[in-house]
Structure 1
Amino acid sequence: MYKAYVFDFDYTLANSEKGIVMCFQLLFEVEGYDGIPEEAIRRTIGMTMYDAMALLTGETDPDRVNALIWEYKVRFSDKYMTANTHLYPQTLPTLHALKDAGALCCIASTKTRSRIGETLRKYQMESLIDLVVGVEDVAKAKPAPDGINAVCRHFGLDKKDVLYIGDNTIDARAAKNAGVAFAAVTTGTTTSQEFARLPHVAIMKDLSEILTIP
């Protein structure tokens, strides 16, 4: 067993797909970006908001991309995101089991810490999470190791005692860059075949399988 389990958030602990897709679609309708398929939006979950917005819209002007991000957040995300974010059925039982065994449970995500906090409060699960590192807390987002390294520094952890869990190859590369073990979960849009090419200790169908990792 590891001393610390560090989780990605979207598609790992929670399914926020409905809220993310809805907010993008509402923004694109208002701003006149037509023909962007829903699957393309889903595939950006796990990227930074800047990278996702630039990729989906094709915009290259940073000012325009940031203006779209601001509109996404203020007009749509603040209203619809958390209401349409739901934990996976295995999330709370797995976190409870890890905490009962004495492990640290943390989050390192490209989502904002403030938005993650809304879901933690929604499910009254703040006591299960020892630290949240959001995109606003790091100099570089994943696949840079900054978020995972911040958790290790905060608790004085040896890298060999840390397992990072995520749903995207971005997460796998972040774990590799941080020098920690990685466990993939296929509850997102990334297949087990895609994960197989990257370092991992497990490829899981859902979070409950964490409890079987030595």
Structure 2
Amino acid sequence: MTTTVLFDFDMTLVNSAPAITRCLNMVALEGNLRAVTEEEVLATIGLPMEDALVRLWGSYEPRWLDIYRERCREEEYAGLRVFDDAVPTLRTLRERGCRTGVVSNRRFARRVVECVSLDALCDVVVGLEDIARPKPFPDALERALSILGSAAEETLYVGDTDVDMQAAAAAGVRGVGITTGNFGAPELLAAGAWCTVDRLQEVTDLP
């Protein structure tokens, strides 16, 4: 029986790719870097930002992240769009007695969850500030389970990337791959997903 359903944030609950692309191109303009496409950015979402910048620009300078956080964060937050079925899905799960939460590779994850008004539907939010190692390591999921007092075998973790599914497997929870990001069902299954869905509301039908 499922008692807990945890979710990744970017491209799982929220469409963030357009906003992040706009902001990274603001950084590119100021840092004399090449512009990036939304397709390129989508392939990096789910990684810690430092790793994403290396993948996009071949290296990482702390000042790029400083520019993003200090000058672009409000622009990013204003452009985030919660997927239409995110709130109904969370509400349905909670009405059934399930605990829900967000486990993300974002730093200061609670801040962004509050920004899109999903915090009232979450019993726990875990981000990079709370753990030593990012996904695909199991630390963030294990931290969430510890806070909630939930059993791994009674928990689902819904995410859109291979990293999410690898973290779920490492934590001993059932990974549910959702195809709203950069990965299709075959890739998510290959990364260790227990099953895949195309829309969030399908999660409410899982045992």
Shorter-chain TM-score category? Answer: over 0.9
Structure 1 residue aligned with 2:40:
40
1:35/1:14 Cα in 2 relative to 1: closer, same or farther (>3 Å)?
closer
Partner secondary structure for residue 61 of structure 2: helix
Residue segments in structure 2 that go unaligned for 5+ positions in a row: none
* 1:207 and 2:203 aligned: no
Residue segments in structure 1 that go unaligned for 5+ positions in a row: none
Kindly indicate whether the alpha-carbon contact (under 8 Å) linking 2:177 and 2:195 is maintained by their aligned counterparts in 1: yes
Mapped to 2, the partners of 1:118 and 1:160 lie a distance apart of 28
- Size of the aligned set, in residue pairs, is 207
Mapped to 2, the partners of 1:113 and 1:26 lie a distance apart of 21
Kindly indicate whether the alpha-carbon contact (under 8 Å) linking 1:108 and 1:133 is maintained by their aligned counterparts in 2: yes
Structure 1 residue aligned with 2:171:
178
State the TM-score, normalized to the length of structure 1: 0.91
Q: Deviations over 1:164-202 (max 9, x none)?
A: 110000000000111111001101111112112133232
- Alignment partner for residue 114 of structure 2, among 117, 120, 129? 120
* 1:68 and 2:64 aligned: yes
Mapped to 2, the partners of 1:48 and 1:26 lie a distance apart of 19
- Alignment partner for residue 153 of structure 1, among 136, 146, 154? 146
Structure 1 residue aligned with 2:185:
192
Partner secondary structure for residue 195 of structure 1: helix
Kindly indicate whether the alpha-carbon contact (under 8 Å) linking 1:148 and 1:175 is maintained by their aligned counterparts in 2: yes
Q: Alignment RMSD, CA only?
A: 1.5
Structure 1 residue aligned with 2:134:
141
State the TM-score, normalized to the length of structure 2: 0.94
- Alignment partner for residue 83 of structure 2, among 77, 85, 88? 88
Mapped to 2, the partners of 1:118 and 1:157 lie a distance apart of 24
Identity of aligned residues (%): 29
Q: Deviations over 1:88-145 (max 9, x none)?
A: 011000000000000000111011235x43443443x332100100111110000011
Structure 1 residue aligned with 2:19:
19
Q: 1:72: how far off?
A: 1.2
Structure 2 residue aligned with 1:97:
92
Mapped to 2, the partners of 1:179 and 1:188 lie a distance apart of 23
Partner secondary structure for residue 6 of structure 1: strand
Structure 1 residue aligned with 2:157:
164
Q: 1:55: how far off?
A: 1.5
Q: 1:18: how far off?
A: 1.5
